[in-house]
Amino acid sequence: MSSHAPALSIVIPLHNEAESLEPLVAELGPVLDAIGDSAEIVAIDDGSTDGSFARLVALVAREPRLRVVRLARNYGQTAALAAGIEHARGAVVVSMDADGQNDPRDIPRLLAALESDVDVVNGWRSPRRDPWLRRRLPSAVANRLISLVTGTALHDYGCTLRAMRAPVARELQLYGELHRFIPALAADLGARLVEIPVHHRPRRAGRSKYGLSRTLRVLLDLLTVKFLSGFSTRPIQLFGLFGVLCAGTGLVLTAELGFERLVLGIRLANRPVVLLAILMVVVGIQFVSIGLLGEMLVRTYHESQAKPIYRVREVVELTSQEGVGMRDRS
DSSP string, 254-272: HHHHHHHHHTS----TT-H
Of the listed ranges 39-53, 167-181, 224-238, the one predicted with least confidence: 224-238
What distance in Å separates the CA atoms of residue 232 and residue 267, rounded to the nearest whole number?
46
User: What's the pLDDT band for 174 if we cut at 50, 70, 90?
Assistant: confident
Q: Where in the chain is the domain with CATH 3.90.550.10?
A: 8-231
User: What dotted CATH number matches 8-231?
Assistant: 3.90.550.10
What distance in Å separates the CA atoms of residue 113 and residue 187, rounded to the nearest whole number?
17
Percent of residues, the chain, with pLDDT higher than 70 = 87
Res. 12: pLDDT tops 80: yes
Q: What is the pTM (predicted TM-score) of this model?
A: 0.75
Do residues 83 and 69 lie in contact, with contact meaning Cβ atoms separated by under 8 Å?
yes
**What single letter denotes the amino acid at residue 259?**
F
Q: For 196-236, where are the alpha helices, taking DSSP H only? A: 215-231
**Long-range contacts made by residues 200-203, C-beta under 8 angstroms, separation at least 24?**
200/101, 200/102, 200/103, 200/125, 200/126, 200/127, 200/128, 200/129, 200/130, 201/100, 201/101, 201/102, 201/103, 201/129, 202/101, 202/129, 203/99, 203/100, 203/101
Res. 330: pLDDT tops 50: no
Mean per-residue pLDDT for 240-256? Answer: 92
